[in-house]
Amino acid sequence: MTDTQGKKQATASKAKTARASKSEAEVPLGPTGRPYHGFPTPTPLDSHGPARIIAMCNQKGGVGKTTTTINLAASLAKYGRKVLVVDFDPQGALSAGLGIPNHDVTTIYDLLLDTKRDAHEAIVASTVEGLDVIPANIDLSAAEVHLVNEVARETILSRVLRQVSNEYDVILVDCQPSLGLLTVNALTAAHGVLIPMECEFFALRGVALLIETIEKVRDRLNPTLQLDGLLATMYDGRTLHSREVLERVVDAFGGDVLETVIGRTVKFPDASVAGEAIIQFAPEHAAAQAYLRLARELVSRGAVA
């Protein structure tokens, strides 16, 4: 190689590096401080099942578990996935949020207590195509008392979901805000855990305890259980507190923190009152686009088929 050829190659290499650096610099950073990817639209599936079961879990209340379950499920259904959501909270907020009647009907409570009852009896179709619901009501609050003396009481939900798992691509379980027997049942039945976390200091404190519980369930009951990610919710980029909490979460959990961040908006309670998912109630709103993006991110990460 001549000196001239060597200089040309060196110059070309520097130009390539400069272009790459410029390209990286042009990629906008998201609220998590990482490049904000678009994530490709997933291809609709030709067949359905077996389902991957994901527990929506956080022992702190008011962090967006039910909102996330409803809107993630609707978004996945929009992308051609067949989805079942299980209302596993005695408050029955998920059932109400999708306009599903939960009184004088078969609920998850009936399925837990009656081993001979067919899970299909409790499944109700929602107004979102491809999205079904197993409702719950206040009766579920008595389940822990009734189940405490049962053999293999931590695996009862697994038995229920096993009856229908081959008919769905994903099953989302909306857990109650506690780390009691019902939540342990959900974690034992699940393949993955998604943790919605409000961008607020006290929510941050509880995550470490929840991670510890997940590890105990993995060690003792469900060795295949995975952490699918932490989802920052109720984020308000105008406040220093929200930005600092999100920064601390990313520092502590790194790649486990999802790139998608759900902002705070009054559209969520408005949609709940209407009994609709946000992508039905206000499809062009930023909140609806955020949950569609979350669905694409989870498919890209392999958490959903």
∠ Cα 133 135 139 (to 5°): 165
Residue 9: the pLDDT is: 53
Domain ranges of the chain: 46-301
* 50 cis-preceded (ω within 30 degrees of 0): yes
Q: Would you write out the chain's pLDDT as a tens digit for each of its 305 residues?
A: 555 455 445 554 554 444 444 444 566 888 888 887 778 999 988 899 899 999 999 988 889 999 999 999 999 999 999 999 999 999 999 999 999 999 999 999 999 999 889 999 999 999 999 999 999 999 999 998 988 888 889 999 999 999 999 999 999 999 999 889 999 999 999 999 999 998 888 777 778 888 988 999 999 999 999 999 999 999 988 889 889 989 988 988 889 999 999 998 989 999 999 999 999 999 999 999 999 999 999 999 999 98
Residue 148: the pLDDT is: 85
Residues facing 197 on adjacent strands: 232
Residue 28: the pLDDT is: 81
The one-letter code for the residue type at 172 is L
Residue 152: the pLDDT is: 87
Q: What are phi and psi of 51, to 5 degrees?
A: -75, 145
Angle of helix 181-189 versus helix 201-220 axis, rounded to 10: 60
CB 181 within 8 A of CB 144: yes
Give this prediction's pTM: 0.88
Q: Which helix (H) or strand (E) holds 189?
A: helix 181-189
Give CA separation, 36 vs 27, 202, 206, 230, 268, in Å. 7, 27, 27, 16, 24
DSSP 286: H
Q: How many CB atoms lie within 10 A of CB 54?
A: 25
Q: Out of 3.40.50.300, 2.40.110.10, 2.60.40.420, 3.10.129.10, select the CATH number for domain 46-301.
A: 3.40.50.300
Residue 3: the pLDDT is: 53
Residue 289: the pLDDT is: 95
